[in-house]
Chains A and B, each alone.
Chain A
Amino acid sequence: MRGLINYFSGMFNGIISLVKGMGVTGKYFFTSPVTIVTQQYPENRKTLEMFDAFKGEVTMPHNENNEHKCTACNICQINCPNGSIEVVSKDVVNEEGKKKKELDKHHYNIGMCSFCGLCIKTCPSNALAWGQEFEHAMFTRNKFVKTLNNEGSKLIQKKGVE
């Protein structure tokens, strides 16, 4: 007798649990246009805004005079765990006849970057920053190597020093 009761109560409870589950999916089906969470990605490209902290790529901000803050000290290159940064510096003789190291090219290989942020954190002159760009797909690998400093850019001269 108990077996029979168990048989029917088990069946009944089972059916109730199934109906409950169908309630959840059914509810979402009938409220679907409101509850859809998918972002329409390529369409919303214009309005899509990443968070400020978003780690898209390493960039070197330039001001309006095409000047950056990088002193070519190599600390980012040393701190990079993957060797994705290569700082090429050149020696420039300034007006006073002193030799001075200046940034020539700041190569950054995004294909090898693991976005750990150590270059940006350790930079003593805050020359690097995170960019918000996230569409990095390229057809060839050598396009991953970017030069961060603009053509003909110069180091910002600190005011009040001279």
Chain B
Amino acid sequence: MNNEQLTAKILSFEPSAEVKDGLQYLTATVAFDKLHTLAKSLRESKDTNFDYLFCLTGMDYGDSLGVIYYLESTNLKHQLVLKIVCADKEKPVLDTVCDIWKTAEFLEREVFDLLGIDFNNHPDMRRIFLEEDWVGYPLRKDYSDNNIIVK
């Protein structure tokens, strides 16, 4: 499926999505509350069949937090980038996608650990790398650590 068809398909799933072509991968930006339904239809539709989530990265955009999903279909061989921006920087919440792609379970825990984005309905939302009592989220831009050796 080429990018135009894919764009049309995504728009048919979610008319409010903002699809951008011409970058490295086709990029779709949707509102945070539409994430789960769109992801589910992208995974389950026979035409898109995005069954492989190969990267999930949290982002601190400065004034907001977001998550970027890199999706691939293993049989149709097309890729898609899903970009989500959380509504609230103080209390960022997103829906989990780990019921759709199991690998997201660990990846979302990592995002929670390092960026502090909470995922609804996640079965095991704990910190994964840092201690449970760690204060702050290190990958945020405003995080400061007093123990920096190399400046």
Determine direct contact between A and B, CB below 8 Å.
yes
Q: How far is the CA of A81 from the CA of B149 in the complex (A)?
A: 12
Residues of A whose CB lies within 8 Å of any CB of B are: 81-83, 112
B91 at the interface (CB under 8 A from A): no
Q: Which residues of B contact A (CB under 8 A)?
A: 149-151
Closest A residue by C-beta to B150: A83
User: Within the assembled complex, what's the spacing in Å between the Cα atoms of A19 and B59?
Assistant: 58
Residues of the B chain whose Cβ atoms lie less than 8 Å from the Cβ of A82 = 150
CB distance from A76 to the nearest CB of B (A): 15
Q: Taking CB as reference atom, which chain B residue is nearest A82?
A: B150
Complex CA distance for A112 and B151, rounded to whole angstroms: 13
Task: Give the distance to chain B from A9, nearest Cβ to Cβ, in Å.
Answer: 40
Give every chain A residue within 8 A of B151 (Cβ-Cβ).
Answer: 83
- List 6 A–B pairs whose Cβ atoms lie within 8 Å, in order of A's numbering: A81-B150, A82-B150, A83-B149, A83-B150, A83-B151, A112-B150
CB B8 to nearest CB in A, in angstroms, measures 46
> 6 closest pairs, A vs B, by CB?
A83-B150, A82-B150, A83-B151, A83-B149, A81-B150, A112-B150
A82 to B150, CA, bound (A): 6
CB distance from A40 to the nearest CB of B (A): 39
In the bound complex, how far is the Cα of B151 from the Cα of A83, in angstroms? Answer: 8
